[in-house]
Homo-oligomer: A and B are copies of this chain.
Amino acid sequence: MSVRVGICGLGTVGGGTVNVLRRNADLCAARAGTDIQIVQIGARSVNPDCDSDKIPVVADVFAVATNPDVDIVVELIGGSTVARELVLAAIASGKHVVTANKALIAEHGNEIFAAAREQGVTVAFEAAVAGGIPIIKALRDGLSANRIEWVAGIINGTGNFILTEMRDKGRDFADVLAEAQALGYAEADPTFDVEGIDAAHKLVILAALAFGMPLRFDAVYTEGISEIAPEDVVYAEELGYRIKHLGIARQREQGVELRVHPTLVPEECLIAQVNGVMNAVMVKGDAVGPTLYYGAGAGAEPTASAVVADIIEIARASVAQSPSSLVPASPLGVAVDALRDPGVLAIADTVSAHYLRVSALDKPGVLSQLATIMSARGISIEALIQKEPRPGEDRVPLIMLTNETLESNLRAALTEIEALESVVGSVVHIRKDGLDGQT
């Protein structure tokens, strides 16, 4: 008996998946306990980087999704419109589904998982978050004994590449972005990556697993890195921090925080040392404490590594008599009907420490005015850098780190500060996260 796989989409990840399944066929069979056979590929064209020789290729991906000879449908076409229809069609035909599609899971996961449960099939999506890093399985299986306190991840390689270059070489955002586009790390339209939408998709999936909650893409706060100035990278460094674009999901008493934004992280934290296009996710559990998972977050073969691991998991299950019961009751680690929504906090109701950069006129009393406004709101200044004005300039930058405070409180203070006559323009503020002092 062999497990029969149909692959929809033969782009970068589809090609990588075919290559890994073929190259490591012996290993995969030993680990699955059964041969894994690619019986059909749905793609409009073949991929020259992929050895699809002797595998029937059809143009219509829906023919693969409903092919009676296919046990597992692998959705690698991307996007969330056709992909949704395709996955629902596969489920309706009683197929297990493996997908690398974060947008699909983040936006339509609730519907898809409900349909899968109805049909007694499973949906696996290890490749949807952090590429080859097995973070989905770590949360679902490896850390299942823990009440997860928070998850914080560098889950977009393009953004991390840009921030790494900005820091290492003192370059500015636009300059590095152009290079990233030339290198193929960033899309022609880089919005998804640099504005945090891609990271938000992934964060929503991590949060659902960590907290046993439905996918709440509607509720993530998202802030990109396009406003990060080289001087903020330098000041952060002076204060002992690096700026990373983090997705953070944290359980609070009042609900869950779901936010993607540039974040100052203590430089001695391992995650601060994760550079270039690499990804890393920290998970803090009540029993295990802090853990970290690191690896390639994208690319043909790293992503294929995760896709094929999901195929092997389902194949292992199929070797037993009752496939649908062999994989966890729900793709999110708890049964769909056991999911509960703790509520997602609005960004105004979240708590963070902050990095602030105020551009102030170089005259007496400004610092005192700032300190008075902050103090009246219970915000303390934990660190401060004030530089002399450069020759010929009448403005000085004032850089501050605050203690933890409610975001709405900080914003009110910023409004008052920006109204001061001695303050020029708006205040730059970047959230800071000590990651519980964990390295």
Contacts and interface: CB of A to CB of B under 8 A. Distances in A.
Contact of A322 (B294, B309, B320): B320
Contacts of A126: 142
A325 to B, nearest CB: 4
Give the 5 A-B residue pairs with the shortest CB-CB distance, closest first.
Answer: A134-B142, A145-B308, A320-B325, A132-B288, A291-B295
Interface of A: 16, 20-21, 23-24, 27-28, 30-33, 126, 131-134, 137-138, 141-147, 212, 270, 273-275, 278, 285-296, 299, 301-302, 304-309, 311-313, 316-317, 319-322, 325-326, 328-329, 333-335, 338, 439
Nearest to A325: B320
Contacts of A132: 285, 287-289, 291
9 contacts: A23-B286, A31-B144, A134-B141, A141-B141, A144-B309, A145-B312, A270-B270, A291-B293, A320-B326
Number of copies: 2
A263 to B, nearest CB: 19
Contacts of A144: 28, 31-32, 308-309, 312-313
A294 B292 contact: yes
A319 B325 contact: yes
Tell which of A23, A134, A278, A306 has the most Cβ of chain B within 10 Å: A134
A296 B288 contact: yes
Nearest to A312: B144
A329 B24 contact: no
Contact of A295 (B274, B289, B308, B321): B289
A33 B289 contact: no
Contacts of A293: 291-294
Contact of A142 (B137, B145, B328): B137
A295 B305 contact: no
Contacts of A24: 145-147, 286-287
A145 to B, nearest CB: 3
Contacts of A302: 287-289
A49 to B, nearest CB: 14
Tell which of A141, A212, A313 has the most Cβ of chain B within 10 Å: A141
Contacts of A305: 143, 145-146, 285, 287-288
A178 to B, nearest CB: 25
A285 B287 CA distance: 29
Tell which of A23, A133, A274 has the most Cβ of chain B within 10 Å: A133
A288 B134 CA distance: 10
Contacts of A27: 145-147, 212
Contacts of A133: 291
A37 B296 CA distance: 40
Nearest to A278: B439
A234 B287 CA distance: 36
Nearest to A313: B141
Nearest to A289: B296
A14 to B, nearest CB: 14
A267 B411 CA distance: 41
